[in-house]
Amino acid sequence: MAATLTIRNLTSTPLELKKLEHYEAPQSSQHDYGGGLANIGSITKSFQTLLSNQTQPTGEQIAENAQSFSSEDVSVHTEPFKTSKTDLKGIERPNEILRLTFETDGERYRLDVPSPTKHSTTLVPLTPNPRHAYTAVFLPYKSHVSIFSSANLSSWMQELKDETPLSALSIPGTHNSPTHHRALPSVRCQVASIRDQLENGVRFFDIRVQPEDPEDPSKDGLILVHGVFPISLSGNKYLRDLINEVFSFLDDHPSETLIMSLKREGPGTHTDAQLSRILRDHYAGDTNRWYTAPHIPTLGEARHKITLIRRFALEDSLKNEWNGAGWCVDAESWAYNTPNDLCRSGDICVQDFCEVLETENVDKKIEYSTQHLGRAAGAKAHLPGDANVQDGQSPPKQPFYLNFLSASNFWKVGCWPDKIAEKLNPAIVDFLCCKHNELEGIEGQFVGDGGTGIVVCDWVGKDGDWDLIRAIVGMNSKLWLREHN
């Protein structure tokens, strides 16, 4: 029996479904819906997924003169950030396409699902000079449509106000960010270059470095590593080149910031104190390009800069920086392999359960990841003008909710980073689309700002698939609405 249609509106505008049509798919665009939930990875890749820079306009697979075999005028009204479960028939057979016509502010937009491509699908405006832009995800095995506001991934932060605490944002990140080079399979965690990640919305980098000449304070060499291994089999790669790439991007997109978590790894006898000195003297001394104060900034304070999170101890002299408060956002103390830990500084709340020793443990990793998404969703940012924050008083601290989707087991092929990501990434897309920020068992009820925190991913951008990144960015809509009301 076919699932009935469910519509989730994750935009800041009300939407009304006005017409539902069923078409026969052209022979070249037939889809296979087999496999059910067990094949969620292949399903979310085969059908339209979430908000990509390479979105496809809807309707190309249906000829303009095509005749629907079923058509009905309907009225299904869905308020912003609400879900409507209907009694309307969804996909019933493999060679079928649904055409949905929505209306808002007197304008109509059309969506055909499922798409013939794996890329996201923008809704086609049916009136000239439309005021809105929407992108949809359709999960065919549930007949579930989620609609997001479209955004420009290369400069998505420009839509949010300067006063916004950076920790209130839903921020896509990558784990061992520069590991897209040819490397050991257990070392490589990414497929896209640094610039491609930035252009496609990633705003958090997880970086591990090894001091090259730790005993010589005049040397600035920091080798990019993953554990004890170099990130490339073709020779050392260096932090300096990565930083130059980031600054080039920020110069082109001054509305953005890049949050960078730095940790010391690699072989040798170097120390955290040596690393902190090298960074302060040779990299992060310019406060016009780096945010190094020991507290979470507002977006305005961080724009056009790298915001530095340190996972290393400081040399004693650096503890006196910023009038004795220290240096950089402090993430020195988080627990290893933790499902939920608040760092001593109170600035970082992290999920980093990383030892997935057997493939069966992936389900536990998914559970911990979705639980941490729930923690982030329940947080509500304190914005200027909030009634519960008096003038001159500091609002309660909202930490970065740092959520690592990464995990691996060096000794088991099925638990290498790419294999874990094949299962975890589609599961998180599904969760964000269907369940995120919705109270269990209470239809349409939401809490907090509905954010995700910083979600740190492996193997995003493979074959142009930025679905997960775009889903995360899309979860800033409720915060945006609060800022602009």
Q: Could you give the residue numbers annotated as active site?
A: 175, 226
d(CA 169, CA 450): 10
Cβ(154)–Cβ(183) below 8 Å: no
Q: From CA 339, how far away is CA 327, in angstroms rounded?
A: 27
The Cα 434–Cα 44 span in angstroms is 13
Q: With the CA atoms of 349, 351, 352 and 357 taken in that order, what torsion angle do they form, in degrees rounded to the nearest 10?
A: 160
Q: Cα separation of 171 and 454, whole Å?
A: 5
Residues 6+ apart with CB under 8 A from 178: 190, 194, 205, 207, 224, 231, 237, 242
Distance CA 410, CA 414 (A): 10
Query: Cα-flanking dihedrals φ and ψ of residue 208, to 5°?
Result: -120, 130
3-state secondary structure at position 310? strand
CA atoms within 13 A on the CB side of 226: 22
Q: How far apart are CA 280 and CA 134, in angstroms?
A: 44
